[in-house]
Amino acid sequence: MTPDTIDRPVASPRRDRRRAFPAAPGQYLVWLLVAVLALAPLAPLLYTSFLSKPYYLPGGVFSTDAYRQLFADPAFRTAALNTVVFAATATVTAVVLGAAFAVLVTRTDLPGRRLLGPALLAPLLIPPLGLIVGWESLYGPSGYLTQLWHKNLHLPAWNLTSLPGMTALGAVTTLPIAYLTCKAVLEGADGSLEDAVRASGGGTWRTLTTVTVPMLRTALLDSAMLIFTLCLEVLGIPLFLGRPANIQFVASYLYDTWSNSMVPDPPTVSAGAMLLLVVASATLLLRSRLLRNGNRYTAGTRATPPAKPIALARWRWPVTTGTAAFVALTSVIPLLGLALMSSVTALTTLVAPWHLFTADNWRQIWNDPSLHRAITDSLTVAAIGSVATVALVALATVIAERSGFRLRRTLPALLVYPRATPGIVFGVGFFWLFLIVDWPGAMLRNSLWGELIALCVRNMTLAYIILAPALSRLSPELAKAAASVGAGWWTTTRRITLPLLRPALISAVVLMFVTLVSDYDPVVFLTKPGTELLGTSMLQTWSKGLPGPVAALALVQVLLVALALGLGLGWTLRKKDRRHA
């Protein structure tokens, strides 16, 4: 053995493998896939909005006629005004109630707060169309409780199909967002300031107004901007509740212009979708600028809640009763009404419900090929889409947070933007994308896979908001140790980072499954006979005047969501038991 042989270092097979398979090409591929999925639908939408004719007709030239026609249409102007009023009113109501409930649950001696807190999240877990149908069956103009209250008791009744009535439902569905945002701030804030105010003789009202509410300024602003953006895209509420009163929002105006007109006008629909996109994007930009210096409102950084909760004194039980009644009236009773409506021929106070029981609604969704197929297609989309989306988002999140990839800082924005974009905008964009791009557009346009892609892209933000915080809590030391012995980035990610993220990955899959089963906005322009999903089938069946089968389909959605959540919770509890053992 020569000295040259002794001094020459032995090559590490892992280092050779890392050089043979560098991380950068794979990272570029993941980044390119995320960028194309998030941004590609918006380019054809902008292009088709400036055509004088639909893309599939010859002779189209560059024109702004679609925008001029849109602004000249009184129906669109009315729909835009209704949308702004609805979004503003629902946002204020949701933020005020959400913040109040967060304060009650986290900062007071409210009895039963450990049960009432999770119960306030029910509208976030119930499929939106199921909640709407449940409300309509009980609180609508011919709803069971409306009839009982007005016709039988001869008392003044509410009008759910009015703008205030729809606003109330919109506030209920978005309230959990404000509640969770404010609750997170209150649980992580330093409570010594509140203790100091009480120690100096300040009462409950002074403590709330001088410390607690100012502590929530950033959370209130954050949740308000997000809720306002979500309210701009609402489609189910105006379609189910607004049509009887001829009240339209921008989303329902675009849907009806496309679906119900004898000659659809795609340039006008594309122009309306672009305007909705611009308003939503401007709202998000304003939100980011306003929250840039939001840390100055933080009261502290130590997670030290008050030593003594704020005493509600004689208001304890009235407030508890009111909170429980709110949960019952907004979530529990509508779910019971949904179940009842799916099992009777008609829901009326003139005849006792047990005399009207029938299985016809359930037989119809089983025997009708389109309705039965909608259930199986939704399960297919949710099962495949949730796993595929979480896998892609997990890789993108690790690249964004734990790599030296030069474009990594753009990935969070690309992952967040789709959810901030109105679902109906994504639907129109994907329709044109599949039409303009001949391959694989032609295949995707006429199959369930196109709808799966639209739904997954629209909701991949939800997987990111679960995985990003979980990844930030993992120490990078193990990855550094693996790199020090020659492991490449992909090896470290596959063998160390992703296994450590397993609980967050499971949670993300469950959340994505629940969302994909319930969502429908991005596919209302993509659905064709043979590719129906639960949400779109419910819209079509409701337009035919068949509330019973719609209620049965909605209850199927609720049961699928409950099953997914139950399996996810069971897996979490088993992991905890093994850890303790």
pLDDT digits (tens, 9 = 90+) for 525-544: 898 888 999 999 999 999 88
Whether the CB-CB separation of 206 and 310 falls below 8 Å is answered with no
3-state SS string for 347-411: CCCCCCHHHCECCHHHHHHHHCHHHHHHHHHHHHHHHHHHHHHHHHHHHHHHHHHCCCCCCHHHH
Q: In angstroms, what CA-CA distances link 142 with 150, 159, 305, 387, 548?
A: 10, 10, 48, 42, 14
Q: What is the pLDDT of residue 4?
A: 45
Rounded distance, CA 470 to CA 467, Å?
A: 5
Q: What is the pLDDT of residue 192?
A: 67
Averaged pLDDT, 474-501: 84
- Tell me which of 2-6, 358-362, 577-581 is least confident: 2-6
Q: What is the pLDDT of residue 215?
A: 80
CA pseudo-torsion sign 116, 118, 119, 120 = positive
Whether the CB-CB separation of 388 and 483 falls below 8 Å is answered with no
Q: What is the pLDDT of residue 7?
A: 43
Averaged pLDDT, 40-46: 91
Evaluate if residue 164 carries a pLDDT over 90.
yes
Per-residue pLDDT of 113-140, as tens digits, reads 889 999 999 998 889 999 999 999 999 9
Q: What is the pLDDT of residue 204?
A: 67
Q: What is the pLDDT of residue 18?
A: 43
User: Residue 576: which pLDDT band, with cuts at 50, 70 and 90?
Assistant: low
Q: What is the pLDDT of residue 442?
A: 83
Averaged pLDDT, 145-173: 89
User: Residue 515: which pLDDT band, with cuts at 50, 70 and 90?
Assistant: very high
Range of 9-18, 145-154, 294-303 with top mean pLDDT? 145-154
Q: How is residue 218 written in tokens?
A: 């950033």
- Tell me which of 156-170, 245-259, 284-298 is least confident: 284-298
Rounded distance, CA 370 to CA 374, Å?
A: 6
Higher per-residue pLDDT: 269 or 206: 269
Burial letters 470-506, b for 16+ CB under 10 A, else e: bbeebeeeebeebbeeebbbbbbbeebbbebbeebbb
Evaluate if residue 24 carries a pLDDT over 90.
no
Rounded distance, CA 571 to CA 504, Å?
A: 12
Whether the CB-CB separation of 457 and 371 falls below 8 Å is answered with no
Higher per-residue pLDDT: 84 or 263: 84
User: Residue 13: which pLDDT band, with cuts at 50, 70 and 90?
Assistant: very low
Rounded distance, CA 97 to CA 116, Å?
A: 14
Give the distance, in angstroms, between the CA of residue 20 and the centroid of all CA atoms in the same chain.
Answer: 42
Evaluate if residue 8 carries a pLDDT over 50.
no
User: Residue 248: which pLDDT band, with cuts at 50, 70 and 90?
Assistant: very high
Q: What is the pLDDT of residue 201?
A: 66
Q: What is the pLDDT of residue 236?
A: 93
Averaged pLDDT, 364-369: 91
Whether the CB-CB separation of 371 and 540 falls below 8 Å is answered with no
Higher per-residue pLDDT: 189 or 287: 287
**Average model confidence (pLDDT) across the chain:** 86
Q: What is the pLDDT of residue 197?
A: 67
Which residue, among 273, 323, 245, has the nearest Cα to 429 in the 3D structure?
Answer: 273
User: Residue 262: which pLDDT band, with cuts at 50, 70 and 90?
Assistant: low
Is the bond preceding 127 in cis, omega lying within 30 degrees of 0? no
Q: What is the pLDDT of residue 453?
A: 96
Q: How is residue 427 written in tokens?
A: 């639907």
Q: How is residue 241 written in tokens?
A: 């509740």
- Tell me which of 419-428, 475-484, 557-566 is least confident: 475-484
For residues 174, 175, 179, 180, the Cα torsion angle rounded to the nearest 10 degrees is -20
**Residue 9, by phi and psi: left (phi above 0), alpha (psi -120 to 50) or beta?**
beta
Q: How is residue 307 written in tokens?
A: 């030593």
Averaged pLDDT, 370-378: 93
For residue 492, which phi and psi values (nearest 5 degrees)? -65, -40
Task: Sort 162 into a burial class: Cβ within 10 Å, 0-12 / 13-18 / 19+.
Answer: middle
Whether the CB-CB separation of 490 and 23 falls below 8 Å is answered with yes
